[in-house]
A and B are shown apart, each in its own frame.
Chain A
């Protein structure tokens, strides 16, 4: 009980934050939102193909967790991956250009919205198949442990992923082999258009409580406050670093937009009022802004500047993407085989491609 009364802002990981660092966290969240809005506009204008899964409303989950990571800590996530990408430090230009299918995109236009990667920033994607990334997250943790590195892998997943077999196989192996992986369930309440009660049988304690079955430590908490997210994810990271053990965290959050753009959203499976309630009462950016103003770290004026700069950056990224060239046809066959790309003996022996 005594523990609960301690404000999350006083947790060591938060207490040590400088004012600049706090503002940077805000800036990152605002940049994510502005990027997503610009992406939606570009999609509506038919500049983007396929799917577009927006992160608006969930910004604190990616930013809070990723802000804690060190040199040997890694991130992997599912297809709603733009927020994590910007949080690890990827640029708006390369991310927006990827949506436009341009050569200047982070994956040279080969991956699209669901498949962003930045291994140099310890970011391993960006995975399109629900829960397909959960064994990979355990594998990254396996590699860290195998190579005697003190690190961990934050493996994000949606609440819709917890019913996939691969997630459970990954949990079992992570526990059995004591892998330093932190599974973060971003629980936005809906697996596409199906609400939780209609999709997941689970203990009263929450989706994360299924971890009990694998003897994995778990926690469930609200995702509106960056302080709380940072404090609790840090606990799991410490467990990974110090004990080489996995954790499962369930963070309650909400997406304002549909599952993807092609989603009737409010009309089909949730009410307008519900969305409005979250927007006014549970917005992570508003929450953090209020916190920082309360702490005297931020002024309304500063905030407007941050908003304006983020909007300008997002608009500029759309302009950059628009002006960028499409990949050349010849690039279709690049990046399929490492050995071919690097023109090694292996890559130049035998026929690798069979078109034409």
Chain B
């Protein structure tokens, strides 16, 4: 029987299983060990696996992320935690130059099997410095992979695949989602005995016929809520496509959905300029132009730094009502 567990527990299960699966897996980050994780994703793992496998790093992202990248070149498989993905910016050179390009610059002699994970979301009243959503920035760089799960089952299955992947995978979670629950199958009910969800496979979270709401991360939940409203109040059947993995990207599933519904909106909590939606809408235009019955719309976070003021911050991020209102303009 699938159990209902939280997104946080799903991530922890993935880490726990991979620590057992490969002795080269080591978890490094601020407060990941003795403190049990700033957001408790690693809670209990230090006690179980000890100080060799879970290492508390000082607040020194450029340093410890760089060490992780260097170690990965020699076959260690570090899973680095950024307390907030916003802190990637102080490790930018390491993440963007060294992890991403060393394989290319060495003509394929080196690879970096590293995962850098952590929450990349706004909406928690922590101001601009702690609310960055850099999935578009990292997905822009060839050599990197970017993953952003919306549901506990994806969080577990994708993280396990990310750790086993031999390229750098930047795994972006959400503090808002950590407490959300979902059905996740137990290992014993799975063929092969474990949950592995491949990178590069989108998931249709809800089937529909009239419009495709495409999203990643928490915006998937926003789309699902919007789809309910569209169905019950406007007799519009919306399909919700969850990218799960941004790079590599499952364009087949996106295009199949658009060819079915003829309308598409990309919803994301990222900023609009050169966001993921910009990429996806451009691809839809190129590949499914003659299937479009309306322009592709993009809904993103308001185009200003994340505001602190709690009621206003709620207005900065996409909400179901906005998705509904924009969707109605397409009919």
Chain A interface (Cβ within 8 Å of chain B)?
74, 76, 105-112, 115, 117-120, 124-129, 132, 134-144, 146-147, 165-166, 169-170, 172-173, 176-177, 179, 334-339, 341-342, 344-346, 349-354
Contact = CB atoms under 8 A, between A and B. Distances in A.
25 contacts: A76-B70, A110-B105, A110-B106, A112-B105, A117-B106, A138-B70, A139-B67, A143-B70, A146-B24, A146-B52, A147-B74, A147-B75, A166-B63, A169-B64, A169-B66, A336-B142, A338-B108, A342-B166, A346-B166, A346-B199, A350-B251, A351-B200, A351-B248, A351-B249, A351-B250
Contacts of A349: 198-201, 248, 250
Interface string B79-123: 000000000000001100110001111111111010000000000
A173 B97 contact: no
Given A111-B107, A115-B105, A135-B70, A165 B62 contact: yes
B16 interface: no
A166 to B, nearest CB: 5
A336 B166 CA distance: 12
Contacts of A334: 108
B67 A135 contact: yes
B62 A135 contact: yes
B38 interface: no
Given A111-B105, A139-B67, A339-B167, 8 more contacts: A107-B109, A111-B106, A117-B105, A120-B109, A172-B60, A335-B104, A346-B166, A354-B249
A350 B248 CA distance: 5
Interface of B: 24, 26, 52, 55, 57-58, 60, 62-76, 93-94, 97-98, 102-111, 113, 142-143, 145, 161, 165-167, 198-201, 245, 247-251, 279, 283
B70 A336 contact: no
A76 B71 CA distance: 13
Given A166-B94, A346-B161, A138 B166 contact: no
Contacts of A118: 109
B296 to A, nearest CB: 17
B98 A142 contact: no
B104 A142 contact: no
Given A166-B94, A173-B64, A345 B198 contact: yes
A110 B104 contact: yes
A125 B24 CA distance: 23
B70 A142 contact: yes
B198 A132 contact: no
Contacts of A345: 198
A119 B110 contact: yes
Given A135-B62, A345-B198, A335 B98 contact: no
Given A119-B73, A124-B73, A132 B109 contact: no
Contacts of A176: 58
Given A125-B105, A169-B60, A336-B143, A132 B70 contact: no
A143 B198 contact: no
Contacts of B248: 349-352
A341 B108 contact: yes
A139 B70 contact: yes
Contacts of B142: 336, 352-353
Nearest to B286: A356
A143 B109 CA distance: 18
The list of the 9 closest CB pairs from A to B, nearest first, reads A139-B70, A350-B200, A135-B66, A169-B63, A350-B248, A335-B108, A108-B107, A136-B70, A143-B74
A136 B200 contact: no
Nearest to A348: B200
A338 B105 contact: no
A179 B145 CA distance: 29
Contacts of B165: 339, 346
Contacts of B65: 135
B107 A335 contact: yes
Contacts of B66: 132, 134-136, 138-139, 166, 169-170
A282 to B, nearest CB: 33
B144 to A, nearest CB: 9
Contacts of A135: 62-67, 69-70, 94
Nearest to A142: B71
